[in-house]
A and B are shown apart, each in its own frame.
Chain A
Amino acid sequence: MRILLLEDDPEIGTWTVKGLTAAGHVVDWIENGREALLAATTRDYDVLVFDRMTPDLDGLSALKTLRSARITTPLILLTALGAVEDRVEGLEAGADDYLSKPFAMTELLARITALGRRGRAEAAETATRLSHRGLDLDLLSQTCACNGTTVLLNPKEFRLLEVLMRSKGRIQTRAMLLERVWDINFDPSTSVVETHMSRLRNKIEKPFGLEFIKTVRGSGYMFID
């Protein structure tokens, strides 16, 4: 994917560019807000990654300007302020996702991948049925079947499986799952994700001797494609 990175710290910038490039993305790195705004309006990008506090024009204002010019390229806001209100402010300004510093490269990569795909996968979002390797999710009746056998899932387990299946082959980090499944925007100090994940796997994998979900150590989970 073609990514525009707005980041004024040389070390973080270098590290981010390196990580994104290693994952196969093409990155333009710009250090000040005004130039980034110019680049975003004149060139085509799949995803924008903006730091919130940058010289000349801060990332949040640049984002607002972009959105008022009806440029809807997906954007991830990076910030040193992790408070919920800042998050809300960023999302309200038109950011598609929000990541507080310091962050793990896997987290950024997972979020960029999720965002980049989203634009193209709009049609899939409206599907009423998700099926893969014998696992069937009926989104209308909220039922799940494995190899034709009905599996009883509670609503949150169903939602967890749905999120994983929609992004099959891509990592979903703990934080992403917390937000998308449970609507939790803080870091719980107990093993909320692990607990529910193991229950889900006990229902869909264990009885059938199958493996649908892979644990990616230190990063999150992935539905095996």
Chain B
Amino acid sequence: MSALRQAIALSLAFLVLLTLGGLLLDDVITEEFRAETEEALREEYQRISDRLTREGRFPEEIVTAEVFSDSGVGYAVLRADGKVLGPVLRGAFDSQGFDILEAEALFQPKALETLDRIFDLIDEDDEEELSDSGPAAEETAAGQLAFDVAFESEADLGWRIYSGAVLDGHLVVYAPGVSAFGSDLTSVILVFVVILSLPALIIGLIFGIRAQRRLNRIGAGFDRIADGELDLRLAPKVIRDDIDELAARIDGATERLQASIRQMSDFSANIAHDLRTPLTRLRLHLDQADEAEDQTAHREAAIAQMDDIIAIFGAIQRIARMQSQGRRDGFAAVDLGVVVEQVHEIYEAVAQDAGQSLSCRITNAATIHADRSLIMQLLANLIENAIRHAGEGARIAIDLSGSRLVVTDDGPGIPEAERGRVLDPLYRLDRSRNTAGAGLGLAMVKAIAELHEAELALMYTADERGLRIEVRFPQP
């Protein structure tokens, strides 16, 4: 059920992030709004106090239209004779500078009633209708402005005021508070989060369950593969996403595993077969040694058979060690040209004695990172393979060009049907079953090439004669 849990966790994380983001946004907007309001209040205060100072006296009356100006700010003054002009309570004149007041503390009850009525009208009608409709609109021509400023705020929420002394009186400038707008946004966000949480959870669950089901299917398939059903494949035909990709990879691994298990079982069968021959001969010699007159001959023959068996085991062990990789400690810079010359020098005479010729050409020999003695063995195995199987009169050639090593012969080659398998350990062509050697030469070459990350290719000439084996070492 981990996919399900993941889906729920993801939806929850999404909602928490949405809430946090909303609150942060709210905070930023509120702060911005507060700053703007204060700026407007200060400007309005300045404008009005300049005008009053210029005129040198307070107006007799403040008309209702002036309760709220265009900037959304209203004002009231306290005259020297203690008379208040405008709808503001006397107490509002006590403060200096910025302050926040509740509507009840700022406005006279009558003015408050008017404001309430305005807000009620706003709740009932649209903005346009309000401006057209009869008595209420006339009665509160100024209220229209109030609405413009405060339309989404509640009248009884905090109002921001700015007050100070002007002439021999007092001036208060006021505007609807910022907290109204802010708290609305918060609740809007919370409502959104609540509304969104359900679909988010449902969508998350749908995706989660689907993914879970697919993973379960892969898991079950994997169990069956582990139990031996190596033919099973898990990926769909079309790869759409990461889960399909994973299934495809498991398929690839299964396929390689299947191939190597097949090879291993062939290998075991071949070991059994190949050891049977020298073991049978060994037994024969030991059996006969008792009765024979010349015991030494049988003993020596037995030892020779034993040496064959030991050689087979030694080679199998070496190949196994190399295939397990990791053993690259003995690697150093190796000049391929030197190795080729050395091996050519050793085998030229051997080939001559077998009635063959061994030639060698070296151009731009590369220096590679390798195990010198393994590279020597690789080349020696290729040449010995050619000497043993190419037949009398064959011409064998070594050609080294850069880091590409090619050994060719013009012997009988390898029949097409058997080409795929000659690199398998212990595989021997049917016709060479009875010649010496354990069939490990080319398998060893393959193992050494793989250890050195070299490409190994067997090629055949058009006329089906001869063999060309190419080893490309990685460029240094």
Q: Chain A interface (Cβ within 8 Å of chain B)?
A: 81-85, 88-89, 100, 102, 104, 154, 156, 182-192, 195-196, 199, 217-218
Contact = CB atoms under 8 A, between A and B. Distances in A.
Given A82-B314, A88-B329, A186-B380, 11 more contacts: A183-B376, A184-B376, A185-B377, A188-B380, A189-B384, A189-B436, A189-B441, A190-B347, A190-B350, A190-B384, A218-B303
16 contacts: A84-B330, A84-B373, A85-B371, A88-B330, A102-B306, A184-B346, A184-B380, A185-B373, A188-B384, A189-B441, A190-B354, A190-B387, A191-B353, A195-B349, A199-B349, A218-B303
Given A84-B371, A84-B373, A85-B330, A192 B317 contact: no
A182 B349 CA distance: 13
B301 to A, nearest CB: 11
A104 to B, nearest CB: 8
The 9 residue pairs across chains A and B that have the minimum distance between CB atoms: A83-B321, A195-B350, A82-B314, A195-B349, A186-B377, A190-B384, A85-B327, A83-B318, A185-B373
A156 B349 CA distance: 12
A132 B346 CA distance: 27
B311 interface: yes
Main secondary structure on B side of the interface with A: helix
Contacts of B354: 190
B463 to A, nearest CB: 27
Interface string B289-322: 0000000000010010010001100100110011
B247 to A, nearest CB: 39
B149 to A, nearest CB: 89
A96 to B, nearest CB: 18
B277 interface: no
Contacts of B327: 83, 85
B164 interface: no
B276 interface: no
A135 B380 CA distance: 33
B133 to A, nearest CB: 101
A48 B127 CA distance: 110
Contacts of A89: 329
Contacts of B441: 189
Interface of B: 300, 303, 306, 310-311, 314, 317-318, 321-322, 327, 329-330, 342, 345-347, 349-350, 353-354, 371, 373-374, 376-377, 380, 384, 387-388, 436-437, 441
Given A184-B380, A189-B384, A82 B318 contact: yes
Contact of A100 (B314, B373, B387): B314
Contacts of B317: 81-83
Contacts of B373: 84, 183-186
A183 B342 contact: yes
Contacts of B310: 102
A218 B376 contact: no
Contact of A189 (B318, B346, B349, B437): B437
Nearest to B440: A189
B97 to A, nearest CB: 88
A104 B303 CA distance: 9
Contacts of A185: 373, 377
Contacts of B321: 83, 85
B388 A189 contact: yes
Contacts of A195: 349-350, 353
Nearest to B377: A186
A195 B376 CA distance: 19
Contacts of B350: 190-192, 195
